[in-house]
Amino acid sequence: MGRINTYILKQLLKMFGFFALVLVLIYWINRAVRLFDRLIADGQSALVFLEFTSLTLPWMIFVIAPIAGFAAVIYVIHRLATDRELVVVQSAGLSVAQIAKPVWGFAISLAVLTLVLSSILVPISQAQLHQRQMEVAENLTARLLTEGKFLTPSDTITFYLRHITAEGQLEGVFLNDASDPGKNITYSAAKAFLVRSEVGPRLVLIDGVIQNLDLTTDKLAVTRFNDFVINIGQIVSPGGTAAKRSEHFTSLQLIAQLISVPDMRESARFDMLYTLHQRLAGPLLSMCLVLIGFAVMVTARYSRFGLWRPILVAVICLILVKFIEGLCMDYSRQNHDALWVLYLPLLCGAVLSYGIIFTADQIWNSDKAAGI
């Protein structure tokens, strides 16, 4: 029995590594191409591109790992069935629940991996990526400080600066923002100042006008102001200057903040608690996905047309559980007292997988359970 468990576990780990590598490469190439175009267009070096892509790898692995684990179980059990190895094991008197022992070991290993990723490695890498995005946004903003030239840091942004005084005051500022498909906004000001903040650079306009053109109705709204603040970093580099969120902190840091700051705002406290529960529920759900794939495949009847039907059933079960997970996440987001709902997909997955296993073993039949 020990050799059989070791053999199945080795096959699962080997195929998990293969599927994880393939899926991560596909996902990484897809994101890297878009990231490369944006960074190179902004004048960044290849080293910045490599740094950004390396910082996204932990998050990619975390997203891919449950799917790779599910695919590994489907492939290994399918191969055991087609090579008649599964028939030999069952003929030796092993029940489906006993065959599931190495699968349980694989599922627990996968859960530990995803837990470490979601609780430690992903938050650290995302925090570092957030910091580098802010630095890049500030560098891009600094490039706008060129007198007498119309600059286009992106396809939808046009910036002009007439003069910079010795004190750092900007004079004759023009900014056109066409990033919204339905609007075209033009800012113009006699004076301006570029200031830094915790969430990125800000452009403070003095004595100016905002012209907001609605492209659907062709109506122009003109607003005059004495002073106005623009998140210039967010305009130049969208998504790169947002404030740090709970996803940027490790689980231990979130727990420490919840304990040390008892008078925290309710919304911030809920956001931290939601993140912690989600980081725990996600790895546990990956175990359920592995067990569902195993249960459907190992209990499938032999067919000379292959095992495409149980594979399709397993994929449908996967989609169903992930759909339930999405519904539960949306519900718990809207109801702050319903964080327990995040664990309902785990219950559904456990009931589904072991319902199939117990039905195959017929544990209510004492003679069959005893191997008679």
User: Does residue 251 lie within any of the structural domains?
Assistant: no
pLDDT of residue 211: 92
Same domain, 30 and 125: yes
Alpha-helical (H) ranges within the chain are: 2-41, 46-82, 85-91, 96-116, 122-143, 232-236, 251-260, 266-298, 308-334, 344-361, 366-369
- Segment 1-8 shows an average pLDDT of 81
* pLDDT-derived band at 362, boundaries 50, 70, 90: low
* pLDDT-derived band at 370, boundaries 50, 70, 90: very low
pLDDT digits (tens, 9 = 90+) for 60-76: 999 999 999 999 999 99
If you average pLDDT over every residue of the chain, what do you get? 82
Residue-number span of the structural domain to which 169 is assigned: 145-236
pLDDT digits (tens, 9 = 90+) for 217-263: 888 999 999 988 887 766 665 554 455 678 888 999 889 888 888 78
* pLDDT-derived band at 209, boundaries 50, 70, 90: very high
User: Does residue 157 lie within any of the structural domains?
Assistant: yes
Nearest-Å Rg of the Cα atoms of the chain is: 28
User: Does residue 248 lie within any of the structural domains?
Assistant: no
Same domain, 27 and 118: yes
pLDDT of residue 304: 64
pLDDT digits (tens, 9 = 90+) for 38-66: 665 555 666 777 777 788 889 999 999 99
pLDDT at 267 over 50: yes
* Cβ atoms 206, 227 nearer than 8 A: yes
34-38, 76-80, 166-170, 231-235: least confidently modelled range: 34-38
* pLDDT-derived band at 372, boundaries 50, 70, 90: very low
pLDDT of residue 324: 92
pLDDT at 371 over 70: no
* Cβ atoms 369, 362 nearer than 8 A: yes
pLDDT of residue 367: 47
* pLDDT-derived band at 285, boundaries 50, 70, 90: very high
Same domain, 227 and 289: no
pLDDT at 296 over 70: yes
User: Does residue 254 lie within any of the structural domains?
Assistant: no
Q: Last residue of a domain, which of 214, 236, 258?
A: 236
pLDDT at 294 over 50: yes
* pLDDT-derived band at 290, boundaries 50, 70, 90: very high
* pLDDT-derived band at 109, boundaries 50, 70, 90: very high
85-99, 209-223, 227-241, 306-320: least confidently modelled range: 227-241
Alpha-helical (H) ranges within 182-250 are: 232-236
By percentage, how much of the chain surpasses pLDDT 70?
A: 84
Same domain, 152 and 134: no
pLDDT of residue 193: 84
Same domain, 125 and 101: yes
pLDDT at 368 over 60: no
User: Does residue 249 lie within any of the structural domains?
Assistant: no
User: Does residue 245 lie within any of the structural domains?
Assistant: no
Same domain, 29 and 57: yes
User: Does residue 29 lie within any of the structural domains?
Assistant: yes
Same domain, 152 and 12: no
As a dihedral over the C-alpha atoms of residue 126, residue 132, residue 138, residue 144, rounded to 10 degrees, the angle is -110
Same domain, 127 and 275: yes
By percentage, how much of the chain surpasses pLDDT 90?
A: 26
> Of residues 25 and 96, which shows the higher confidence score?
25
pLDDT of residue 20: 93
Same domain, 110 and 13: yes
User: Does residue 292 lie within any of the structural domains?
Assistant: yes
Residue type, 300: A
Same domain, 118 and 179: no
Q: What distance lies between CA 139 and its chain's CA centroid? A: 27
Indicate the number of domains in the chain. Answer: 2
The residue with tokens 């923002």 is 177
pLDDT digits (tens, 9 = 90+) for 321-337: 999 999 999 998 888 88
Same domain, 85 and 163: no
Same domain, 129 and 151: no
